[in-house]
């Protein structure tokens, strides 16, 4: 049905906010049964466009048509009545309610004025079976489900509303590879029934797997719409998103001095039941990468080095001094900084201003008796904001309001301000668009050039290989390979991982 007339047409959509024009003439048409991908850098207008479509924002100009007829989407309820359901990146399920209660939230089934739980459970079971997940029990509390399970519940809710379009905002951001594959299967089954999906993602490889057509946003405008996925090269998409040609390349760096001091030394480190006998060293100016599948123990190794987990064996030394196991303060005092995978929940104070997030690890420097010198904090933060080209550059703006790429820059700025000797990066470009990735790669290279020892984990093997001087391949909690990054490729990494799992 992807050749049918559009179910949804948006033309010339404009949306202003105080001091900014978020959308400046966006066009989009969506056909029944297609997966229409919307791409763009952080700040391109994707989130605002979704909220206009969901009825959360009202456009200042432009027209929306459903089945060729002009409509006004005045509220989220109005959007649902028109057949438009939105699944936000921050899933809107209620953990304390059952699966069935979440599926029918806001349109509960009733008999004689009373909620009919039996009918809701039966309906939820049918929808979950339709989505290929009969193992999710209708009576189970949603808070007990994984992120992937919660997504399925959210999709079942959309189907219970008789949705004709499901908008999915970064649905794979919290999923592992197996869960993403299952998500794609569900999307294909849903679209086979004629339901359309608007799919928002930063991951271009996902677009190739799941998409039919593409609309690209840049600076609040649709710079291309209705592109066929099969006919559009990746480089063209990157150029449309960024306004310039960006190769999947990394900043050129000099070879590491073999005589440079070993800043970080890890000896026979172990965490019972997770990983064992991990040894590595990182010299000043060197980038060491850990490659492996999700669940291999990569992140746990970083967290143990940082002191967030207490090791069951082994030693960690920084500049020759042994760190107390399980002590984050000891690691920070020694000059170790961590940018965690879950930056929103583990790294940032989202409702605090940018300047406070940047100075978080250096409060003592700004203490004046029992008080903090906020003027000095802001001044120091402004220097880092300028150095990292963090946008917007207002130090008083809440961290929550920034894009993923700029939130990651806040964490890097924090450790730059701290002057850390060892920087530990867990998934440094997760949820970051193509243009911001290139900037973060350049920042990492700049830190290494200044003598920082860097340890990095990424689920994207090309990223690990492209960033690193030395690579360790991790499988089932063990190091199965160690060597120069230039001497290994993605296929060999995967072979080693599978061989390690079979061993």
Phi, psi of 38 (to 5 degrees): -115, 120
**Which residues are CB-contacts of 289 (< 8 A; sequence separation ≥ 6)?**
455, 456, 457, 458, 464, 465, 467, 468, 470, 471, 472, 485
Q: What's the CA gap between 279 and 157, in Å, rounded?
A: 48
152 in helix, strand or coil? helix
Selected from 3.40.50.300, 3.30.365.10, 3.30.70.3270, 3.40.50.970, the CATH number assigned to the domain covering 8-242 reads 3.40.50.300
Helix ranges (DSSP H) in 67-132: 76-81, 99-103, 117-130
pTM of the predicted structure, to 2 decimals? 0.57
Contact predicate 221/26, CB 8 Å: yes
Other beta carbons less than 10 A from residue 306's beta carbon: 22
Tokens 């799919």 locate to 199
Length of the chain: 503
Contact predicate 426/339, CB 8 Å: yes
Q: Which of 139, 199, 148 is nearest to 169 (CA)?
A: 199
Phi, psi of 237 (to 5 degrees): -65, -45
Tokens encoding 462: 């090309």
478 in helix, strand or coil? strand
CATH code linked to domain 262-335+420-502? 3.40.50.300
109 in helix, strand or coil? coil
- One DSSP character per residue, 396-457 reads TSBGGGS-HHHHHHHHHHHHHHHT-SEEEEESTTTT--HHHHHHHHHHHHHHHHTT-EEEEE
Do the bridges between strand 8-17 and strand 110-111 make them parallel or antiparallel, or are there none, so unpaired?
Answer: unpaired
Contact predicate 216/224, CB 8 Å: yes
**Burial status of residue 135 (CB atoms within 10 A of its CB: 0-12, 13-18, 19 or more):** exposed
Q: Which of 267, 224, 288 is nearest to 422 (CA)?
A: 288
Q: Which of 241, 64, 240 is nearest to 165 (CA)?
A: 64
Peptide bond before residue 285 is cis, with ω within 30 degrees of 0: no
**Tens-digit pLDDT string for the chain (503 aa):** 556 789 999 999 999 988 778 899 999 999 999 999 998 876 788 889 999 999 999 999 999 999 999 999 999 999 999 999 998 876 778 999 999 999 998 888 888 888 899 999 999 999 998 888 899 999 999 999 887 888 889 889 988 988 999 999 888 766 767 778 888 988 998 999 999 999 998 677 788 889 999 999 988 999 999 999 999 987 788 778 766 544 445 767 788 888 999 999 999 999 998 999 999 999 999 999 999 876 789 999 999 999 999 999 999 999 999 999 999 999 999 999 999 988 888 889 989 999 999 999 888 888 888 888 889 999 999 999 888 888 888 899 999 888 888 888 999 999 888 889 999 999 898 877 777 788 888 889 989 999 999 999 987 888 899 999 999 999 989 999 999 999 998 888 878 887 765 44
Domains 8-242 and 262-335+420-502 share a fold: yes
Contact predicate 126/146, CB 8 Å: no
Tokens encoding 437: 């990735």
* Per-residue pLDDT tens digits for 320-345: 999 999 999 999 999 999 999 888 88
**Which residues are CB-contacts of 214 (< 8 A; sequence separation ≥ 6)?**
36, 37, 38, 39, 207, 224, 226, 227, 228, 229, 232, 237
Axis-axis angle for helices 147-160, 177-191 (nearest 10) = 10
Tokens encoding 339: 């940018």
Contact predicate 458/427, CB 8 Å: yes
Q: Which of 223, 169, 202 is nearest to 24 (CA)?
A: 223
Domain range list for the chain = 8-242, 262-335+420-502
| 3-state helix/strand/coil string of 2-69 | CCCCCCEEEEEEEEEECCEEEEEEEEEEECCCCEEEEECCCCCCHHHHHHHHCCCCCCCEEEEEECCE
Contact predicate 224/233, CB 8 Å: no
**Which residues are CB-contacts of 466 (< 8 A; sequence separation ≥ 6)?**
248, 249, 250, 441, 485
């Amino acid at each position: 049905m992807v050749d049918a007339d559009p179910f949804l047409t948006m033309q010339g959509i404009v949306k202003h906010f105080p001091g900014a024009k978020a959308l400046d003439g966006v066009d989009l048409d969506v056909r029944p049964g297609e997966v229409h991908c919307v791409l763009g850098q952080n700040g391109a207008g994707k989130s605002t466009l979704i909220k206009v479509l969901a009825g959360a924002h009202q456009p200042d100009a432009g027209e929306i048509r459903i089945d060729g007829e002009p409509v006004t989407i005045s509220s989220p309820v109005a959007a649902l009545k028109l057949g438009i359901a939105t699944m936000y990146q921050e899933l809107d399920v209620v953990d304390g309610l059952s699966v069935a209660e979440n599926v029918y939230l806001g349109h509960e089934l009733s008999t004689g004025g009373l909620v009919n739980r039996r009918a809701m459970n039966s309906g939820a079971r049918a929808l979950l079976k339709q989505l290929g997940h009969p193992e999710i029990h209708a009576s189970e509390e949603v808070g007990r489900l994984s992120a992937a399970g919660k997504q399925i519940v959210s999709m079942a809710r959309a189907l219970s509303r008789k949705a004709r379009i499901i908008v999915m905002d970064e649905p794979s951001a919290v999923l592992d590879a197996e869960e993403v594959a299952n998500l794609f299967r569900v999307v294909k089954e849903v679209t086979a029934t004629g339901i359309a999906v608007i799919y928002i993602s930063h991951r271009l490889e996902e677009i190739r797997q799941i998409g039919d057509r593409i609309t690209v946003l840049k600076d609040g405008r649709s710079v291309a719409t209705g592109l066929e996925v099969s006919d559009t090269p990746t480089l063209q998409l990157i150029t449309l998103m960024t306004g310039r040609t960006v190769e999947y390349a990394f900043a050129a760096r000099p070879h590491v001095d073999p005589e440079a001091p070993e800043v970080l030394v890890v000896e026979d480190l172990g965490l019972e039941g997770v990983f064992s006998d991990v040894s590595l060293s990182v010299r000043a100016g060197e980038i060491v990468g850990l490659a492996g599948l999700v669940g291999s123990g990569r992140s746990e190794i970083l967290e143990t080095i940082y002191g967030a987990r207490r090791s069951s064996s082994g030693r960690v030394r920084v500049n020759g001094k042994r760190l107390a196991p399980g002590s984050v303060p000891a690691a920070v005092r020694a000059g170790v900084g961590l940018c965690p995978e879950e930056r929103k929940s583990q790294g940032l104070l989202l409702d605090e201003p940018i300047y406070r997030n940047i100075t978080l690890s250096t409060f003592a420097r700004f203490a004046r008796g029992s008080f903090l010198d906020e003027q000095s904090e802001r001044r120091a933060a402004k220097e880092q904001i300028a150095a990292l080209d963090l946008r917007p550059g207002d130090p008083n703006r809440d961290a929550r309001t920034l894009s993923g790429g700029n939130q990651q820059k806040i964490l890097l700025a924090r450790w730059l301000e701290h002057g850390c000797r060892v920087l530990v990066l867990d998934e440094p470009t997760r949820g970051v668009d193509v243009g911001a990735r290139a900037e973060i790669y350049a920042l990492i290279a700049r830190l290494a050039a200044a003598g920082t020892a860097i340890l990095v984990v990424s689920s994207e093997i090309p990223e690990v290989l492209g960033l690193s001087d030395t690579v360790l391949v991790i499988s089932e909690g063990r190091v199965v390979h160690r060597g120069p990054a230039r001497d290994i490729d993605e296929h060999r990494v995967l072979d080693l991982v599978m061989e390690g799992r079979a061993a």
